[in-house]
Structure 1
Amino acid sequence: MTGSVQRSLLFLDVDGPLIPFGAVSQTYPTCATGPDLLDVDANPLLTRVNPEHGPRLAALPCEVVWATTWMADANECIAPRIGLPQLAVVIWPEPGDLDHQDERNGLHWKTRALVEWAAGRPFAWVDDEVTDTDRAWVADHHQGHALLHRVDPCQGLTDGDYAALDSWLRQLS
């Protein structure tokens, strides 16, 4: 389409941002259940997923994309629990295809793949493993705007995280 503007991307990790790993066991709302959803007995960590994340993510002015090792399972297990539709999923390179020099230099193994997937589009990356090395590499190798937002894995996404993401994404609109 001529004149159409692509929305910014939000690459979302699951473990840490949506499934917090607090050192002290915390009580999180039990997610909705249904016959289509993975039994929490099969993965008890799913009880840590706060269903309020769905509406908050959907309200952000962006296209949310799963950027997690859960891959397609995020659409089967997480999206229905938080009320999100099926989302695009980043397909990661095979371990043998990764540049191990990147790893030795401190670059996260997801970083190159996310920049390639974005293909110049503005993006926010929400993960608990983002570092300054990733930020510097993205600044040098990505043509568009990028926000690499680290979430505290003990807390998961918080009000402050949503405020920062919303503010950054709206500045691009």
Structure 2
Amino acid sequence: MTGSVWRPLLFLDVDGPLIPFGALSQPYPTFATGSEPLGADANPLLARVDPEHGPRLAALPCEVVWATTWMADANECIAPRIGLPQLAVVDWPEPSDIDDQDERSGLHWKTRTLVAWAAGRPFAWVDDEVTDTDRAWIAAHHRGRALLHRVDPRRGLTGSDYAALDSWLRRLV
């Protein structure tokens, strides 16, 4: 964990929030960036990442942390495309270490790790897979404030998502 202990955390997923997917009948907009051209071996989904996410995320009063299966690749592939510095990255447990009971009860496999990583600090979790089960578990097991913000994966983060995050985070600082 890095950064000031007084700033809230924003745990950010990539697939869904930054890379929209799942729309049935429309093509996604694509974005070229001057700093990070797509090479022949690059993930073609990276072209869906809007470079405006970087300034919008940087303007939020929090410490942004990658909470994605992209792990360190988010710093190599996503951060430069949107103009963010290297961010802290949540290390996930091995699949064999994830509690089967959590899966049966509907608890997301990221939930316990994010609460442990936050260590009592307030946090927002931006993901397309959070559920009421995660909200209830976090309310019972996390001593700080938490906002679990579900993003529609077909659209990704929108202006209204940023407004909701900004409003919640500013009430904490």
- Which bracket does the TM-score occupy, shorter chain normalised? over 0.9
Identity within the alignment, %? 78
Where do 4+ consecutive residues of structure 1 move more than 6 Å? none
Query: CA deviation digits over 1:99-123, x for unaligned, max 9?
Result: 1100000000000000000000000
Contact 1:10 1:62 in 2 (8 A): yes
Alpha-carbon shift at residue 27 of structure 1 (Å): 3.7
The equivalent of 2:26 in structure 1 is 25
Alpha-carbon shift at residue 30 of structure 1 (Å): 1.4
Query: CA deviation digits over 1:32-65, x for unaligned, max 9?
Result: 144x665265311001000000000000000000
Cα distance 1:59–1:99, how it changes in 2: closer, same or farther (>3 A)? same
Distance 2:24 2:88 in 1: 31
Structure 2 stretches of 5 or more lacking a match? none
TM-score, normalised to structure 1, is 0.93
Amino acid at match of 1:69: T
Cα distance 1:89–1:8, how it changes in 2: closer, same or farther (>3 A)? same
Q: Does 1:122 align with 2:122?
A: yes
The equivalent of 2:166 in structure 1 is 166
The equivalent of 1:67 in structure 2 is 67
SS of corresponding position for 2:101: helix
The equivalent of 1:9 in structure 2 is 9
Distance 1:80 1:26 in 2: 24
SS of corresponding position for 1:172: coil
Distance 2:16 2:38 in 1: 19
Query: CA deviation digits over 1:47-96, x for unaligned, max 9?
Result: 10000000000000000000000000000000000000000000000011
SS of corresponding position for 1:125: strand
Contact 2:50 2:82 in 1 (8 A): yes
SS of corresponding position for 1:121: coil
Number of aligned positions between the proteins: 169
SS of corresponding position for 2:45: helix
Distance 2:40 2:26 in 1: 17
Distance 1:97 1:151 in 2: 27
Structure 1 stretches of 5 or more lacking a match? none
